[in-house]
Structure 1
Amino acid sequence: MTGVQDLKYRQWFNGADVDGDGVISRDDVRLMGERYIAARDAASESETARRLTDGLEAFWANVIAPMDQDGDGKVDLREMTEGFRRALADPALYPQQVGPVADCYFDMIDLDGDDRVDQAEFGEIFGLAGNVSPQDSTEVFEALDLDGSGGLNRAEFHQALTEFFYGDDPNAPAAHLFGRIAG
């Protein structure tokens, strides 16, 4: 784990602590899903919303909850950082650990269902629901659009999340996926 990864994980933590109380709980994970569903004006009973809710529940149960070292049902920044160091040590496990939730988010972001996320969709979900500034969102999107098509396909989206969770380059565009990191 590098200092850059710690900065990225802190940025992710700040977004995941939806209620701002300094810890991530099951309620935060639920609220995170509700925030994305609401930003998309998706019906809570839609297939995509159900997949997202189920994916986040699995993410809580399999990745976040095991980080709770003191058993209080909450994960603070230290527990989360140490947990990510343990749980996300092997990029080969991305398909099981992060991939399913990433696919759900991709489907939520891809409002028109064309299997690509355009700049407007990306900016809306990371800006409105993820609290990323419009300028940062635009810069990150343009850098992540590797083929210059004006949209992120599923592979580019997964590549960005892989770089975010496992990479250590502070200048990689994906380092700033959840907001500009300091450092």
Structure 2
Amino acid sequence: MAVLRDRKYQQWFRGADTDGDGVITRQDVLRMGERYIAARSAGPESETAQRLIRGLDAFWTQVIAPMDQDGDGRIDLREMTEGFRQALTDPARYPQQIQSVADCYFDLIDLDGNEKIDREEFQQIFGLAGDLPFEDCTEVFNALDLDGSGTLDRAEFHRALAEFFYGDDPDAPANHLFGRVVG
């Protein structure tokens, strides 16, 4: 199932390479957050925006930067894929590796602050900032809404991200969270 994870990681890489130059830098990682902050119309000085920027900076330092095999400060697709394969092996490490950044994203996506992400919020944020094609947003959202409530609570959101980064199930709804994984 390493092939599936590699495809998911490649899809994430395409979104993380915000300037399209074929590598991820610290600036790319921070720009990912800026896209979500802008789509949310949150001020860059807001508490949530500042938490996200700090979380992404820590994600860069603790997870992404160590993947830099040649020390050039730029992570290419091969380095990132190999690095994710090594770093993201144990879903029990999700709280240390991804959860704090995911909580910040959840807070940005939850536009009305009701601790749930509805379909419209999901479409607005993942469609505008995540570059998920609008027509795919509804399909992905419906697949992630495991209890059929019409919303994603924080637990469902975390389950989706954990499945995306650590999971090997080819039929998992979270596989397409950052765009359709093909192949």
TM-score between the two structures when normalised by the length of structure 1: 0.98
Cα distance in 1 for partners of 2:72, 2:130 equals 26
TM-fit CA distance, 1:60 = 0.4
Equivalent in the alignment of 2:117 = 117
Equivalent in the alignment of 2:149 = 149
What root-mean-square deviation, in Å, do the aligned CA atoms of Structure 1 and Structure 2 show? 0.8
Equivalent in the alignment of 2:73 = 73
TM-fit CA distance, 1:171 = 2.0
Equivalent in the alignment of 1:177 = 177
- 2:70 is paired with a residue of what secondary structure? coil
Cα distance in 1 for partners of 2:136, 2:181 equals 11
Residue type matched to 1:115 in 2?
A: E
Cα distance in 2 for partners of 1:12, 1:132 equals 11
Matches within 5 A, 1:84-99: 84-99=84-99
Residue type matched to 1:100 in 2?
A: S
Give yes or no for the alignment of 1:21 onto 2:6.
no
TM-fit CA distance, 1:3 = 0.4
Residue type matched to 1:5 in 2?
A: R
Cα distance in 1 for partners of 2:146, 2:139 equals 13
Equivalent in the alignment of 1:41 = 41
Name stretches of at least 5 consecutive residues in structure 2 with no aligned partner: none
Deviations 1:62-121 (A, max 9, x none): 000000010000000000000001110111100000101000000010011000000011
TM-fit CA distance, 1:125 = 1.0
Cα distance in 2 for partners of 1:33, 1:159 equals 20
Equivalent in the alignment of 1:51 = 51
| Identical positions, percent | 71
Name stretches of at least 5 consecutive residues in structure 1 with no aligned partner: none
Residue type matched to 1:110 in 2?
A: D
Equivalent in the alignment of 2:61 = 61
Equivalent in the alignment of 2:132 = 132
Deviations 1:12-60 (A, max 9, x none): 0000000000000011011111111000110111000011001000000
- 1:98 is paired with a residue of what secondary structure? helix
Cα distance in 1 for partners of 2:95, 2:124 equals 26
Deviations 1:134-172 (A, max 9, x none): 121110100111111111000000000011001112221
Residue type matched to 1:58 in 2?
A: A
| Number of residue pairs the alignment of both structures matches | 183
Cα distance in 2 for partners of 1:58, 1:177 equals 22
Residue type matched to 1:21 in 2?
A: D
Cα distance in 1 for partners of 2:59, 2:18 equals 16
Residue type matched to 2:69 in 1?
A: Q
- 2:45 is paired with a residue of what secondary structure? coil
Cα distance in 2 for partners of 1:174, 1:124 equals 18
Cα distance in 1 for partners of 2:6, 2:34 equals 26
Cα distance in 2 for partners of 1:76, 1:124 equals 29
